[in-house]
A and B are shown apart, each in its own frame.
Chain A
Amino acid sequence: MSTNKVIHAIYTDDDILMDAVKASRAAHHHIEEIYTPFPVHGLDKAMGLAPTRIAIASFLYGVVGLTVAANLLNYIMIVDWPQDIGGKPSFAFYQNLPAFVPVLFELTVFFAAHLMVITFYLRSKLWPFKQAENPDVRTTDDHFLMEVAVSGNEEEMISFFKNTGAVEVKVIDKH
């Protein structure tokens, strides 16, 4: 069958949507995408989406930030020009460590936070002037839209989604 045909099933309630998702998964319909106006708790689990790894990425970015800060301070304060500033011991990194900790902390947080956000933008393909991918303007307001790939009998699928409580079921040709 044609692979570029999708069904848009539109719901007006997140509870009905959740039940519809479970029913669709049980009937082995492939859910391409779900558009909701707000985060629906447990939707990702119901859809069977893999958990995010952004926290792991963030931890690693934090480690990078810590390393950058430590090397920066060590090079400037200890290696390059170990001046006596107000009697602070600049003979070795660990001797002046307490004075460096605020910077070490802030740069760790800075790297972890900003690089994580940028990672999120890249992975979600979000940037200014990006063309919105909204299939139906109502999904940003009060409607929920489930996009399912058409396979097999189209009529059967339409009636199946009508039975899941959809207020509207459309077949769309995707390019």
Chain B
Amino acid sequence: MYTFSNKLKTFAFVLMALGLLGIAYGFLTAPKTTADVEKILAESHHDGHHAAAPAHDAHAVAAPAEAHHEAPKTETHEAVANDTVNTVEKDTMKAEVAPVVEENHHDAHAAKADTHEADAHKEHEAHLEHVLHQLQNKPWAAMYVACIFFLLISVGVLTFYAIQWAAQAGWSPVLFRVMEGITAYLLPGSIIFFLLLVLSGMHMNHLFTWMAEGVTDPKSENYDAIIAGKSGFLNVPFFLIRALVFLAGWNIYRYFSRKNSLAQDNASDDSFYKKNFKIAAAFLAFFIVSESIASWDWIMSVDPHWYSTLFGWYVFASFFVSGITTIAFVTLYLKSKGYLEYVNTSHIHDLAKFMFGISVFWTYLWFSQFMLMWYSNIPEEVTYFVTRIENYNLPFFGMVVMNFVLPILILINTDFKRLTWIVVMAGIIILTGHYIDFFNMIMPATVGDQWFIGVSEISSLLFFFGLFIFVVFTALTKAPLLAKRNPLIEESKHFHY
């Protein structure tokens, strides 16, 4: 049996406490009114973002705000909307990547140049309103990203676990209890996540623009024909019901597979093993459908004007590789503490191979999505990448380096895959990279170019990390770390590659 070390427990509590403090700080310091926003913008201008003369500055801010004001009913709405702030510094680098936005911007610029003095004030107000929403979204989005990231890690582990059962893998049964421990986070994780979704549905935040009031009402100022056309799918009650069904389905599988796995320890035949085999197969069928829809709901719908067909797979690959990395981490930790007698370097080697392979798979999907849209360059879908390349250049391309280039170079060597410190190093890179991946999926649509990895983001990450450690290692103390009567356990104990 595993005993939860006091040091680790304290560490988890410290992380949670620090995280909560930081989250609270993030919410308290979010601007309440447009006046606050004006102050923030003025400060950031003085910080050297805009070294230009004040007159030029005002002009530059006003002009794109006009573009934004006129655009809401067009399809390039998002691209323009995300581009309303700090346009001055972006002007120079924009030309290469975003011809569409560039033209819009300049048209607006030129056409309104004479008359903009009169409208400037109104436009400025609209702009402030826009930035206010982005800044108010920041602590929410930070929490949302961290929450979904850890939730999906446990879902990724659960999928891996189900695959091991369904495939009757001979190497992994010694790791089943580790995986079951990690998936214990699924229940608390999905409760918190569902609450976040409910709060969004109750208009506590603006994470999902399609939830805003009036978007489906033709008489409203907020009316958006495109979103209205999707309201058969994207409406709050249906959205919450779907989320509930998916989360419940995953949790139910987790509950029963764990129960059967423990029952198999004391059974006299293999009936629980067979049951687990069957429900694993059923879960995988349910999972691939639910995961695909969940990724449209929870991630793609923050950009309700945009769609991508392979998005479900892309999201899956991202959290699947994170889940496998987490298994490797927990296994290496427990092994180093002497709790996993039968885990040898071959098991680690296999996990590292999965980390390597799925990293490449993720990259394949990332690139397929990016390249198809980049190549055809259809305005209504390419805006997604335009905003990311413009405003999130370093995270967007940095994550490709972290999730592909570094893992492929580090983990390609067979001997390296057996070394603890190499696997840990590669794992840290992969997990960080996939956090940034989720950051890149959520942030551009919710906070736009107001993003920053600061107190809110890091605190949310710390809080959920602490909670994750606490839940996972508590669950690990609940059962022996080696499954007893699994028919494949002997093979797994002697597994050598």
Contacts and interface: CB of A to CB of B under 8 A. Distances in A.
Interface of A: 55, 59, 87, 89, 95, 98-99, 101
Contacts of A99: 371, 375
Given A59-B412, A87-B377, A98 B96 contact: no
Interface in B357-377: 367, 370-371, 374-375, 377
Given A98-B375, A99-B371, A101-B367, 11 more contacts: A55-B414, A59-B412, A87-B377, A89-B96, A95-B96, A98-B367, A98-B370, A98-B371, A98-B374, A99-B375, A101-B371
Contacts of A59: 412
A101 B96 CA distance: 19
B32 to A, nearest CB: 43
Contacts of B414: 55
B40 to A, nearest CB: 35
Contacts of B412: 59
Contacts of A95: 96
A99 B374 CA distance: 9
A87 B378 CA distance: 12
A71 B461 CA distance: 43
Interface in B447-477: none
Contacts of A98: 367, 370-371, 374-375
Nearest to B370: A98
14 contacts: A55-B414, A59-B412, A87-B377, A89-B96, A95-B96, A98-B367, A98-B370, A98-B371, A98-B374, A98-B375, A99-B371, A99-B375, A101-B367, A101-B371
Contacts of B371: 98-99, 101
A59 B370 CA distance: 27
Nearest to A94: B96
A55 B371 CA distance: 30
Contacts of B374: 98
Closest 3 CB pairs of A and B: A98-B371, A98-B374, A99-B375
Nearest to B415: A51
A89 B377 CA distance: 12
Contacts of B367: 98, 101
Contacts of B370: 98
Nearest to A42: B496
A75 B377 CA distance: 25
B475 to A, nearest CB: 38
A89 B374 CA distance: 11
A78 B377 CA distance: 20
B373 to A, nearest CB: 10
A160 B375 CA distance: 72
A55 B412 CA distance: 10
Nearest to A95: B96
Contacts of B375: 98-99
A99 B371 CA distance: 7
Nearest to B374: A98
Interface in B401-426: 412, 414
A101 to B, nearest CB: 7
A37 B412 CA distance: 31
Contacts of A87: 377
Contacts of B377: 87
Contacts of A89: 96
A89 B370 CA distance: 16
A88 to B, nearest CB: 8
Nearest to B376: A86
A101 B400 CA distance: 14
Interface in B262-283: none
A85 to B, nearest CB: 12
